[in-house]
């Protein structure tokens, strides 16, 4: 495939997580010359401490693309290795590390990032999760020029999408990965056809900037003193990781999906399980959260209907 008679453009692709796979797949299937995939080193995962390759490495190897997994990017030998490819673009999607000026200046036409938010909103490591945690009804993808800051580079193209009221962060991330892949190809073609990149660049408005910090396991604890709409967003945003959780009779109870209920008049305490089937918990402002899919510590994940059949509740049960 050629664009306006130009030679096929050579790309170094940098990515690690599942989000990046859609962009790499689209580059390959659209005929771009992906000369190298750079990803993070394999990591030990799970209870069995199994050394596991990043999803992007698995895809690249299955498509006979060279893979490079440096521990440190700024080593002189690493920089020389990357420069020897003489790429037209470096394309980055969920790589997981900040790139230095030495890396960003390697490609002839520029270093481009696929970011899962409508910048300058939600810069940082977890924009998809925080779009849901913050109760946003809309988000999107930004194709941006990279600089040395954290998602502070010039915007090239953006595409928005509505967030479904029951969509989890995992489901939204999957959708955005596909939207981002399509937008990436559109952006590259526009740049190549125009013969320049400057006409598409737009500075970010720093006054509108916000950040999304990386979530930790402990961030999944539920605060029942909030209303059910806020907690429903919390459950959605924490799924699939780190997963929202509370404690039932001293054991961790993970909550994967839920349903918010409003305008209730219930004589119960905040955090009390006031109804067993379906499983409902009183929240703030006369609201309640119906738990749809749960997992008790040491047990498998199941519907709340199945859970209540096998659990002996106390006369009064409080989730803490």
Domain finish residue from 163, 190, 212: 212
Residue 110, sorted as left (phi over 0), alpha (psi -120 to 50) or beta, turns out to be left
Co-location of 208 and 267 in the same domain? no
Task: Judge whether residue 291 has pLDDT over 70.
Answer: yes
Q: Using the predicted structure, report yes or no on whether residue 49 has a pLDDT greater than 90.
A: no
Q: How far apart are CA 260 and CA 229, in angstroms?
A: 6
CA distance 171 to 265: 34
Whole-number average pLDDT of the chain: 94
Segment 9-21 shows an average pLDDT of 96
Give the tens place of pLDDT for each residue, 298-320. Answer: 999 999 999 999 999 998 999 99
pLDDT > 80? residue 8: no
Q: Is residue 20 part of a domain?
A: yes
Confidence of residue 117 (pLDDT cuts 50, 70, 90): very high
Quick one: pLDDT at residue 1? 34
- Give the CATH number of the domain where residue 254 resides: 3.10.25.10
Structural domain tally of the chain? 2
Question: pLDDT, tens digit, for every residue of 258-278?
Answer: 999 999 988 999 999 999 989
**pLDDT at site 3:** 40
Q: Which pTM does this prediction carry?
A: 0.94
Domain extent for 41: 10-212
At which residue do the structure tokens 């039932």 appear? 248
């Amino acid at each position: 495939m050629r664009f306006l008679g130009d030679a096929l453009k050579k790309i170094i692709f940098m990515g690690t997580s599942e989000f990046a796979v859609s962009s790499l797949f689209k580059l390959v299937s659209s005929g771009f010359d992906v000369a190298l995939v750079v990803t993070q080193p394999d990591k030990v995962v799970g209870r069995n401490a199994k050394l596991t390759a990043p999803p992007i490495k698995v895809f690249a190897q299955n498509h006979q693309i060279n893979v490079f997994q440096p521990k440190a990017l700024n080593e002189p030998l690493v920089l020389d290795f990357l420069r020897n490819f003489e790429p037209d673009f470096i394309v980055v999607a969920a790589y997981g590390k900040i790139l230095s000026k030495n890396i960003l200046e390697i490609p002839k036409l520029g270093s481009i990032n696929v970011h899962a938010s409508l910048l300058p909103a939600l810069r940082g490591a977890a924009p998809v999760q925080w779009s849901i945690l913050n109760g946003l009804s809309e988000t999107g993808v930004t194709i941006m020029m990279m600089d040395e800051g954290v998602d502070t580079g010039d915007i090239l193209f953006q595409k928005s999408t509505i967030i479904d009221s029951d969509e989890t962060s995992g489901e939204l991330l999957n959708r955005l990965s596909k939207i981002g892949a399509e937008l990436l190809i559109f952006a590259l073609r526009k740049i190549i056809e125009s013969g320049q990149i400057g006409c598409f660049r737009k500075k970010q408005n720093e006054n509108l900037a916000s950040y999304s910090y990386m979530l930790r396991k402990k961030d999944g604890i539920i605060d029942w003193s909030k209303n059910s709409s806020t907690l429903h967003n919390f459950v959605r945003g924490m799924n699939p990781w780190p997963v929202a959780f509370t404690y039932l009779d001293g054991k961790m109870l993970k909550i994967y999906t839920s349903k918010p209920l409003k305008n209730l008049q219930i004589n119960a305490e905040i955090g009390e399980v006031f109804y067993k089937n379906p499983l409902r918990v009183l929240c703030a402002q006369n609201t309640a959260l119906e738990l749809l899919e749960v997992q008790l510590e040491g047990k498998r994940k199941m519907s709340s209907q199945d859970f209540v059949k096998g659990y002996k509740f106390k006369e009064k049960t409080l989730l803490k």
